[in-house]
Structure 1
Amino acid sequence: MTILVAYVARPEGQAALDKGIEIATRRNEPLVVVNAGPGGKDDTGVVDGYEGERLAERLAKLPVPAEFKHFVRGKSTVDEIEALVNHLDVSVLVIGLRRRTAVGKLLLGSTAQEILMTVSCPVLCVKAA
């Protein structure tokens, strides 16, 4: 079994990472942290080289096997996460949530909602402090 964390370089992504590390360590399960998106110049939340290196260094210090994957290859975030859930034996997917107004949700949609409706494993949603 594997703990999968969907990571974005924002406070809600950090909250998801912290919770994923806590669960993986407590259960003694491998941890996979993924940052995924279609890419492009307007893409926000994509981890730059420094952030990716810092994450990899943090994961290397954990008492469980852990790895960081960064995908920017034209697929949607949901498609990339769903593919990992189907490929790995995921016991839980951890995602971060941010506060949005009802109108914001209506106009922009919700990646978190799509993930909840799509993936076949349990999903733990966490909020930033």
Structure 2
Amino acid sequence: MSIVVGYVPTPAGEAAVRAAVAEARLRGEDLLVLNSAREGSLVETTVASDEDLGRVLAPAQEAGVRARVVRGAHRDDFTDEILDLAAEHDASLIVIGLRRRSTVGKFIMGSVAQRILLQADHPVLAVKPRR
């Protein structure tokens, strides 16, 4: 079994990876870090650089957690990609980061976190960044 975490280079994404590393260490499980780009997007802010990934994965290495980055591409929504990865690896836990959004923002754009929480067949840990 493994722990799956969705990572984007934001404070919420970094909080999610920190929590996922702690859970992987506690449970003695591997960590899969999913970073995905939207297909066809010319400018994508969710794509992590090698530097971003190295910085957030360093604590995993220090803690003795085996971590692997999975790079993907999604068409409509990141939700299906993270749920598919969790199913494929029989994840014991999915970890996601949460960020504040306005009511209008949630209405217009939807919420990936909400869809993951509602659709996941695996336990989900949702974390917020420190203030």
TM-score bracket relative to the smaller structure: 0.7 to 0.9
- Which has the higher mean CA deviation after the structures are superposed, 60-69 or 49-58? 49-58
Corresponding residue number in structure 1 for 2:10? 10
TM-score (norm 2): 0.86
Q: Are 1:47 and 2:73 counterparts?
A: no
- Deviant stretches of 4+, over 3 Å: 52-62, 73-76
Q: Percent identity?
A: 36
Give the whole-Å Cα distance in 2 for the aligned partners of 1:102 and 1:74.
24
1:56·1:68 contact (CA, 8 Å) conserved in 2?
no
Residue by residue over 1:55-84, the C-alpha shift from the partner in whole angstroms, topping out at 9 and shown as x without a partner, is 455544441221111113646311211210
Give the whole-Å Cα distance in 2 for the aligned partners of 1:36 and 1:91.
21
Q: Which runs of 5+ in 1 are unaligned?
A: none
Are residues 127 and 85 of structure 1, via their aligned partners in 2, closer, same or farther at CA, if it must alter by over 3 Å? Answer: same
Shift of 1:125: 0.4
Residue by residue over 1:9-67, the C-alpha shift from the partner in whole angstroms, topping out at 9 and shown as x without a partner, is 00000000000000110111111111123242132211123323444555444412211
Query: Aligned ranges for residues 1-129 of structure 1 at < 5 Å?
Result: 1-39=1-39, 40-55=41-56, 59-72=60-73, 74=75, 76-129=77-130
TM-score (norm 1): 0.87
3-state DSSP of counterpart to 2:92: strand
Are residues 126 and 37 of structure 1, via their aligned partners in 2, closer, same or farther at CA, if it must alter by over 3 Å? Answer: same
Tell me how many residue pairs correspond in the alignment: 129
Q: Which runs of 5+ in 2 are unaligned?
A: none
- Which has the higher mean CA deviation after the structures are superposed, 22-31 or 69-78? 69-78
1:3·1:31 contact (CA, 8 Å) conserved in 2?
yes
